[in-house]
A = this chain, B = another copy of it.
Amino acid sequence: MDELDGNPSESQSPAADPEDPQKCPPVVTDIGALNCSSLNVESFIEQSIAIIMEDVVKKATDVTEKVCEWRSPEQLKELLDLELTDGGESESKILQHCRDAIRYSIKTSNHTTYLLNQTVKSCYHDNIVCVVSIRYTYEVAPVFTLIEDAVLRKMMEMIGWEEGGDGIFNAGGSMSNMYAVNLARYHHYPHIKELGLSAAPRLVIFTSRECHYSISKAAALLGVGTKNVYVVPSDNRGKMISSALEEQIKTAKSEGAVPFMVNATAGTTVLGAFDPIEEIADICEKYNLWLHVDACWGGAALMSQKHKHLLKGIHRANSVAWNPHKMLMACLQCSAFLVRDKTHLLQRCHSAQASYLFQQDKFYDVSYDTGDKSVQCSRKPDAFKFWLMWKALGTRELEQRVDRALAMARYLAQEVEKREGFRLLMDPEYANVCFWYIPPSLRNLSDGPEFWKKLHTVAPVIKERMMKKGSMMVGYQPHGDKANFFRMIIISPQVSKQDMDFVLDEIHNLGKDL
C-alpha cells in the first residue's frame, strides 16, 4: 500500500496543468510515474471534425463523388495500417487513419448510396456527425470489418489464445454473456437450435453469488430458466469457492439435470472480485463443461504486467466477455465477445443465412461477411473507436491507465482506513473501493443490529445531498447482509489524489450532522 507514498510534491500538484487543462499530472507508483494521454483533446476534436466536414458532410450531395473506392480485403489490409503496437502514434497519424477510414468506407451520405438498402446514411440531427456503417457484409463495411478482426485478434493475444479464435463486438456485456450461454448450449446440444428446449433435458448453468445479473437474464431469455442457474457460494472477498462449485455440479447431476456451463467472473460488479479461474478450469475439464469468463469489468487487467495475474488461467476459457468501454474507457458501447473455438461455432450457432444478405455468388471472399455470427442484423462499428484509441495510446499507455487507476484505488482505500468515521469493507484488489461512512453520532454505538440499522440509512441521505448540491456522484448499495455502503470505482486516468481526498472530505461534510 506504500506505492503512492514518497512523493510529497506530487500529492500537492494541481489537478491539471493550467497551460493544458486536458493534461493531468503523473501519479508516482512503485512501478514508476504513470502518465495519462498527452493528446490535446480539443485540438484533436477540432481537426477530426474538420475532416468529417470536408470528407463526409460537404461531399454528401456531390454526385460526382464515388460511393466507394473498392478494395479487396487483401488490398485493403495492406493500405490500412491495422496493427496495434506498444507505442502510441502521433496525432497526425491518427488523423490520417480517420481520413483513410472515411476514404475506403462506403460513402453513406452520397445520393446514390442511399439506393443500396434502407440502412446506410449520414445523419446530423443526433448532434453527432458520424459515418454509420453496417457490419453484416464486407461490401458495406470493408474498413470496419477488417478493423474489428484486427482488434479481436489483439484481444485474443492478450487473453493468451496463441492459436487465435473468433469473436464479435456487440451491444454490451449482457449480450456477450447471453452469447456465451447460447454457444455453450449449442456446443453441447446443437439440435436445440432447431428443436428447442422442450425436447431437451433440464440444463444447468453455474455461477457465483456475486456474478452480474445478466447471467440470470440470459437464463430467462434463453429458456434455460433462472432456477437452473445454480448459485455457487463466494468467499468473504467475493470469489467463487471452487470446491462448492464441484459440490453443486454433483448435486445437479444427482437430480438428473445436465450441467453444461460455468460462468466465472473476473471483476465482480460490486466488490471487484476475481474468481479463481485455474481451479474452475480444472473442474470444467473434469466434467466437460463450457467455461465462460465474464471479464467485462476485469478484462482490462490483462493489459497490465503488474495486475494480469488476477485473471490467471483465462487462456483456458472457452469464451470471454470483455468490455473496453469500462476501464479502458472506449466510448460506450464497446463490448467484445471472444471464443476460443476455431470451427465456426459462432457462425453455426447464430446463422440464419438470409439469401438477400449473404449471397454466395459475390466477387470477393465471402468469409469476410461476418454478419451472420451476430443475433443482431445491423451493428454499429464499435471496434473502430477502440482501435483508434489503441492506435493513439499504444498498448503501453493503456497499461499505464490500468496501473494508475488501480494505484489510485489503493490510495483511496488507504485514506479510508486512516480517517476517523470511515470503514473499509475489504482491501480492494481491483478498482472497486467499498466503504461505510459513520457519522459522529453513530461512532460510539456498539457494533450491533441497532448500529447497522442506523448506518443503513446514512448513505441514501448523503447521496441525495450530493446530487442536489451537484458536487459529485458516488453510488451506494446494500449487498447481501451488508448495510448500505458507498462503492467508488476508479477508472479515469485523470483523477488525482486530491480528487480522492475531495470525495472523502465531501462525504464527511455532507453527512457529519446525521
Contacts and interface: CB of A to CB of B under 8 A. Distances in A.
Oligomeric state, in number of copies? 2
A203 B197 CA distance: 10
A196 B192 contact: no
Nearest to A358: B477
Interface stretch (A150-158, A239-247, A326-334): A326-334
A503 B15 contact: no
A127 to B, nearest CB: 5
Interface stretch (A26-34, A51-59, A442-450): A51-59
Contacts of A474: 115-116
Given A70-B468, A115-B488, A220-B350, A128 B129 contact: yes
A202 B199 contact: yes
Interface string A445-476: 00000000000010010011001111111111
B220 A197 contact: no
Contact of A477 (B115, B195, B356): B356
Given A171-B175, A213-B354, A352-B216, A116 B376 contact: no
Given A16-B61, A21-B62, A392 B355 contact: no
A172 B359 contact: no
B270 A356 contact: yes
A443 B346 CA distance: 44
A378 B472 CA distance: 20
B62 A53 contact: no
A153 B166 CA distance: 41
Contacts of A470: 66-70
A499 B221 contact: no
A384 B24 CA distance: 32
A347 interface: no
A237 interface: no
B197 A123 contact: no
Given A116-B474, A356-B269, A44 B332 contact: no
Interface in A478-495: 478-479, 484, 487-492, 494-495
A352 B491 CA distance: 26
Interface string A39-57: 1011011101100110001
Interface stretch (A79-87, A105-113, A309-317): A105-113
A118 B297 contact: yes
Contacts of A392: 125
7 contacts: A39-B124, A41-B124, A44-B124, A52-B127, A127-B384, A174-B375, A195-B227
A36 to B, nearest CB: 11
Nearest to A503: B115
A121 B389 CA distance: 14
A68 B473 contact: yes
Contact of A359 (B349, B460, B467): B460
B128 A467 contact: no
Interface string A332-361: 110000000000000001101111110101
A15 B49 contact: no
Contact of A125 (B134, B173, B326, B330): B330
A327 B119 CA distance: 9
Given A112-B503, A116-B473, A356-B479, A385 B460 contact: no
Contact of A198 (B203, B377, B472): B203
B495 A332 contact: no
A67 B376 contact: no
B126 A128 contact: no
A503 B112 CA distance: 8
Contacts of A42: 53, 57-58
A174 B69 contact: no
B119 A326 contact: yes
A67 B227 contact: no
A332 B381 CA distance: 10
A477 B359 contact: yes
A395 interface: no
A311 B117 CA distance: 22
B376 A175 contact: yes
Most chain B beta-carbon neighbours within 10 Å: one of A170, A270, A327, A378: A378
B494 A385 contact: no
A115 B380 contact: no
A61 B196 contact: no
A134 B174 CA distance: 14
A72 to B, nearest CB: 10
Contact of A494 (B61, B212, B352, B380): B61
B111 A499 contact: yes
Given A198-B200, A220-B193, A126 B63 contact: no
Given A62-B21, A201-B198, A223-B196, A492 B111 contact: yes
